């Protein structure tokens, strides 16, 4: 999702990848880092809350938090195939009336998207070119909790992402991944009235952070 990237993300995150991710989720549930984020959010209390899930793919966070008591979830994604997969699963679960799906770049849609009690971005900031703008706009939309998953700022992680970007470049793919200093993410959250509440590493690569509205 970037200003020129709705089509780029739709191209990279296409139908076959979305179908594969949905099948995996239906068999095994959320991935470890997503499970960690969900557990931390549920611990804070989600009953009756509203959710805004940005770049949520097949909608794992939406599905799980609706099951945990969230009253309404809005999913925004630049990939039409992933959004369709999320909607398919929502219908299968009987949650269609409690879910809104918006196709597009959240940065471009932000003014028309209402705030929510909980805002989540699971592995989104690291692939969005104008990540600081996305972080600021998404943080502003969080009335109570702001949950993030992003790569840990470690030399080994940076090296792996360098190799991954090299492969993507050779394959002429439009997506690039990045590692952002957690201090920079925290500063944007703080500038928008949020304070770090939970910080937990998941394996060697991923960091889960939850910020609370001050």
- List the chain domain ranges: 6-213
Res. 6: pLDDT tops 90: no
User: What pLDDT, on a 0 to 100 scale, did the predictor assign at position 4?
Assistant: 43
- Whether the CB-CB separation of 121 and 149 falls below 8 Å is answered with yes
Q: Give CA–CA dist 76/8, Å, rounded.
A: 16
- Whether the CB-CB separation of 171 and 163 falls below 8 Å is answered with no
Q: What is the mean pLDDT of the chain?
A: 93
Res. 5: pLDDT tops 60: no
DSSP codes, 90-147? HHHHT-GGGEEEEES-HHHHGGGSPPEEEEEEES-GGG-TTHHHHHHHHHHTEEEEEE
Q: Give CA–CA dist 115/144, Å, rounded.
A: 10
Q: Count CA within 13 A, CB hemisphere, residue 117.
A: 16
- Residue 8: pLDDT band (50, 70, 90) is low
Q: Tokens 């195939």 identify what position?
A: 81
Res. 90: pLDDT tops 90: yes
Reported as a single tens digit per residue, the pLDDT across 115-130 is 999 999 999 999 999 9
Res. 3: pLDDT tops 80: no
User: What pLDDT, on a 0 to 100 scale, did the predictor assign at position 1?
Assistant: 36
Q: Count CA within 13 A, CB hemisphere, residue 167.
A: 6
User: What pLDDT, on a 0 to 100 scale, did the predictor assign at position 139?
Assistant: 98
Q: Which secondary structure element, helix H or strand E, spans residue 23, and what is its range?
A: helix 15-28
- Residue 175: pLDDT band (50, 70, 90) is confident
- pTM confidence score: 0.93
Res. 37: pLDDT tops 70: yes
CATH 3.40.50.2000, domain 6-213, yes or no: no
- The total of other beta-carbon atoms located within 10 Å of residue 36's CB is 20
- Residues found in the chain: 214
Of 19-23, 31-35, 65-69, 174-178, which range is least confident? 174-178
Q: Tokens 């990540």 identify what position?
A: 131
- The total of other beta-carbon atoms located within 10 Å of residue 176's CB is 14
């Amino acid at each position: 999702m970037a200003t020129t990237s709705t089509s780029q993300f739709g191209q990279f995150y296409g139908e076959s990848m979305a179908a594969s991710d949905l099948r995996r989720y239906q068999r095994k549930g959320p991935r470890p880092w997503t499970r960690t984020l969900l557990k931390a959010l549920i611990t804070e209390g989600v009953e009756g809350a509203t959710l805004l899930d940005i770049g949520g793919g097949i909608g794992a966070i939406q599905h799980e938090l609706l099951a945990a008591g969230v009253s309404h979830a809005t999913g925004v994604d630049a990939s039409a195939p992933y959004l369709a997969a999320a909607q398919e699963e929502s219908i299968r679960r009987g949650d269609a009336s409690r879910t809104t799906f918006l196709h597009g770049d959240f940065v471009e849609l932000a003014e028309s998207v209402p705030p929510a009690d909980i805002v989540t971005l699971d592995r989104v900031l690291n692939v969005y070119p104008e990540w600081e703008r996305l972080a600021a706009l998404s943080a502003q939309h969080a009335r109570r909790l702001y949950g993030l998953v992003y790569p840990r700022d470690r030399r080994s992680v940076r090296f792996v992402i360098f190799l991954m970007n090299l492969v993507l470049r050779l394959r002429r793919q439009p997506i690039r991944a990045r590692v952002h200093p957690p201090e920079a993410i925290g500063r944007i959250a703080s500038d928008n009235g949020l304070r770090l509440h939970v910080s937990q590493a998941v394996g060697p690569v991923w960091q889960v952070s939850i910020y609370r509205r001050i």
